[in-house]
Structure 1
Amino acid sequence: MPIMIACVMRGFLGWLTERRQRQILERQNLQANLALLKAQINPHFLFNTLNNIDVLIEKDQATASTYLKKLSDILRFTLYETPSETIPLSREVEYINQYIDLQKIRTSNSDFVTFDVKINNLDLQIAPMLFIPFVENAFKHSTNKKISNAIQICITTNRNSVNFNCSNAYDADAIKTQEQSGLGLELIKNRLKLLYKDNYQFDINKTSDRFTVDLSINLP
């Protein structure tokens, strides 16, 4: 009997050690994926926005100052909040709003992008920067700034689930470029799988002139 108990204890301790190591590896993988996503998004967006604000300073200093504050808030969010495992959904929505406002500097078409938010629980906790890669990708490939509703973004909640939809128009010449964005897409898929396992649904639909992402997550 003592030998049997010792074998059971060794097996149990071995299982605990293996589980702990797997959790550490998953967390390291998540951190690496998030770091890569941040590296892909920030430099391109940062340089373009700074150039736009620089041009705007000569025309309207007050408006330029407002946009500079929005950029500062986005950088603060990226630096200090994204290392957290989860953040309130309201912060992700605020980030997207500021990102869209900064992108609007590049076009006089007020109908270029729509962002609808229908959320009954802003305190829902989600992983940081979960949706912004799709929003950034939509702006990247919607090159014709004269199109109305070229980018349509919608976030809704239903009890403990959150639904994200992002649809963007794109030029036929940009199809190859769209298809070459596989690295970021694979990182996102891996991150979703590690974070939410089987508790999410992720679909992509591409037509001849429109690219749509649907993401639904059941939160604990």
Structure 2
Amino acid sequence: MIAMRYLHSYGARIRADEALKNVSLQTQFDCLKTHINPHFLFNSFNSLSVLIAEDKVRAGNFLDELSTVYRYMLQSHACDLIPLRTELAFIQAYFSLLKTRYGNGIDVLIDVNACHLEARLPPLTLHILVENAIRHNSILADQPLLLSICVTPEGHLVVGNNIQRKTLRANNLQAGLTNITTRFRLLQLPQPTIMDDGQSFTVQLPLLQKSGTM
């Protein structure tokens, strides 16, 4: 009887690990699809071309950030959890690309105390949330999209943005958020909290501390 329970528990754990692996691979694939498409590549290379002609130092920085973004996305599938420090470094590189494209139309405030930098979360979580905000909101110089990333004193990551929804709603509104909640569930972590008051959209996520506690 004990052996049967052990085998059942072992089989369930194997299935959960396999499901998590599949979701992680899908996340990586979806993120790559977002960026490795003609429009993104055209915009990136066009921006790079302009910078090369105008400012070779900025062009070099842009190319470095672009390389950082792709390298992180290609390597992120190797682990289920990653330090917040690493995730923030990636999102800062990615945001540099966004600033080159949107200019004053977008801005981000990152306020994270150093004591939280080694806390862990599923890789590409911040990327999905930033992409979600960009996909569903207008980005204009006179109406900038403002994003914020902070950690509460209790150790919860909070990612938010002002709401200025596009007239034409993008497809798969919940796809990114569903992906995140599924990964947290498979990792047996508390579920993220999603808040929308009509003025701002906020997602609060639990962080796994280095000691293994929430």
Give the TM-score normalised by the residue count of structure 2: 0.80
Aligned to 1:164: 158
Distance 1:172 1:128 in 2: 28
SS in 2 for 1:167: strand
Supply the AA of the counterpart residue of 2:87.
E
Matched, 1:22 2:3: no
Asked if the contact 1:82/1:129 (under 8 Å) is kept, the reply is no
Identify unmatched segments of 5+ residues in structure 2: none
- Aligned partner of 2:192 in structure 1 is 201
CA change 1:169–1:137 in 2 (3 A) is same
Superposition RMSD on alpha carbons, in Å?
Answer: 2.7
- Are 1:55 and 2:50 matched, yes or no? yes
Counting only pairs closer than 5 Å after superposition, residues 65-84 of structure 1 correspond to structure 2 as: 65-84=60-79
TM-superposed deviation, 1:211: 5.1
- With over 3 angstroms needed to count, the CA separation of the structure-2 counterparts of 1:171 and 1:86, relative to structure 1, is closer
Deviations 1:136-177 (A, max 9, x none): 222334433213552221221435x33222214434513x22
Q: 2:36 aligns to what SS in structure 1?
A: helix
Query: Where does structure 1 lack aligned partners over 5 or more consecutive residues?
Result: 1-7
In the alignment, structure 1 residue 192 sits paired with structure 2 residue 184: yes
- Decide whether the 8 Å contact of 2:145 with 2:162 is kept in 1: yes
**For 1:105, what is the secondary structure of its paired residue?**
helix
Contact in 2 for aligned 1:152/1:167 (Cα 8 Å): yes
Q: How many residues align?
A: 206
Preserved CA contact (<8 Å) 1:165 1:213: yes
Question: Aligned in 2, Cα 1:180/1:86: closer, same or farther, shift over 3 Å?
Answer: closer
Match of 1:181 in 2: 173
Distance (whole Å) between structure 2 residues aligned to residue 76 and residue 36 of structure 1: 13
Cα offset for 1:104? 0.6
Structure whose alpha-carbon radius of gyration is higher: 1
After TM superposition, the structure 1 = structure 2 runs for residues 1-220 of structure 1, keeping only pairs within 5 Å, are: 8-44=1-37, 46-47=40-41, 48-109=43-104, 112-119=106-113, 120-147=115-142, 149-158=144-153, 161-174=155-168, 176-177=169-170, 180-197=172-189, 199-205=190-196, 207=198, 210=199, 212-219=201-208, 220=213
The TM-score, its normalising length taken from structure 1, stands at: 0.78
Bigger mean CA deviation after superposition, 126-135 or 9-18: 9-18
Instruction: Provide closer, same or farther for how the CA distance between residues 82 and 213 of structure 1 changes in structure 2, counting only shifts above 3 A.
Output: farther
